Amino acid sequence: MTQLPLPLLKKGYAMEVKKAHTRIVVLGAGLVGKAMAIDLKDSFSVTSVDINASVLSELKEEYEIDTLEADLSSSAAIADAVKDADIVVGAVPGHMGYDMLKTVIEAGKPIVDISFFDADPFELDELAKKHDVTAIVDCGVAPGMSNLILGYYNQKMEVESFECYVGGLPVVRSWPYEYKAPFSPIDVLEEYTRPARIRENGKDVVKKALSEPEYLELENIGTLEAFNTDGLRTLLKTMNIPNMKEKTLRYPGHIYLMRVLRDSGFFSQEKLDVGGTSVRPLDVSSKLLFDKWRLEEGEDEFTVMLVSVEGNEEGEKKRYSYHLFDRNDPGTGFSSMARTTGFTCTAAVHMLAEGIYTRKGISPPEYVGAEEGCFEYMMKYLEQRDVHYRLSK
């Protein structure tokens, strides 16, 4: 038996036998990538890959995780990093995600990915099947667990409606943004500009991001505002359900501020000439917001998600609702977003390693949820790590 780090033992994590023969390469060592490498290290031989030498040094010195310094914007560097991997975990920024995934598939390596890129992952489905690769994509909290829950219930009942409300926020509200980004600010800003695709009465419709605001009163939190974002992603292709939507949650007032910045051009991807230098306003805004939105070490924050699935089950109208409320873990130092996103992904890694999930090609989480035993495995894995989805009917 390998002893878990003391903070993890205090949290009651299950002891696991070291599977030294299974080599996991984690591409990206940001807040979530780092947490995933630590979570996986007591079950597998793990190598963390990133361009940030200081983060890698911490992982190596404090957690005895093997590391590799590499520029993950380079396909050649990725191919070299994964050449000896049995399973790859993708945790790079969204704008690098598609090329990273393609490179890993071409290397013939199974992968679980949380990179959340804009492009349709099914464009790589035939490539993955050609290389006999299982590629689980969008495997975080939302997209991720929200999809998995829907996939599970879609096998049990005739689903008529799916709703997901989700957000990650700091406990302390600080002017002017009252928000912190647990991942790259540029990925957040793109959510505020990318048109939101939803389904209403059997028809796919497109609505402006940040549109249709509504207020929700939530236990442990109070009032939050919700707005349309493009979070359904693969569900629009994989699920024949007449009504589906996803909304993002923020503190009241955030929508107005982001609309002002967006409509003033601060999130534009069109290059401007500024003193002879060509720049994208989006890149400048992301750079300016990086420090403002960065979570401080140990800062108290939470993730909240409401998922509702409604339809007919054995001739009866049924509604299943899941409520997640998770806070950062001071014992491990993991942020809530790292926990809720990262542990969903690492659970899927275990499913691949243990042969529980074997479907070849591109697999969004709704495919995983539909497979026998996977939903129960995921819920148990998260429960062991104190991530709790509370069911109400």
CB atoms within 10 A of CB 98: 18
- Per-residue DSSP letter, 294: B
Predicted pLDDT of residue 298: 76
* pTM of this structure: 0.91
CA distance 212 to 208: 9
Domains and CATH numbers, the chain: 6-140+338-392 (3.40.50.720), 145-327 (3.30.360.10)
Predicted pLDDT of residue 94: 87
Best CA proximity match to 42, nearest among 60, 7, 15 = 15
Predicted pLDDT of residue 294: 85
Q: Are 88 and 109 in contact (CB under 8 A)?
A: yes
Best CA proximity match to 250, nearest among 286, 289, 223, 231 = 223
Predicted pLDDT of residue 20: 53
How confident is the prediction along the chain (393 residues), in pLDDT tens digits per residue?
333 333 343 333 433 444 558 999 999 999 899 999 999 999 999 999 999 999 999 999 999 999 999 999 999 999 999 999 999 999 998 889 999 999 999 999 999 999 988 899 999 999 999 999 999 999 999 999 999 999 999 999 999 999 999 999 999 999 999 998 866 778 888 889 999 999 999 999 999 999 999 999 998 899 999 999 999 999 999 999 999 999 999 999 999 999 999 999 999 999 999 989 999 999 999 999 988 888 887 789 999 999 999 999 999 999 999 999 999 998 888 999 999 999 999 999 999 999 999 999 999 999 999 999 999 999 999 999 999 999 998
As a dihedral over the C-alpha atoms of residue 80, residue 85, residue 88, residue 90, rounded to 10 degrees, the angle is -30
The phi-psi region of residue 276 (left if phi > 0; otherwise alpha if psi is between -120 and 50; otherwise beta) is left
Predicted pLDDT of residue 3: 34
Predicted pLDDT of residue 182: 66
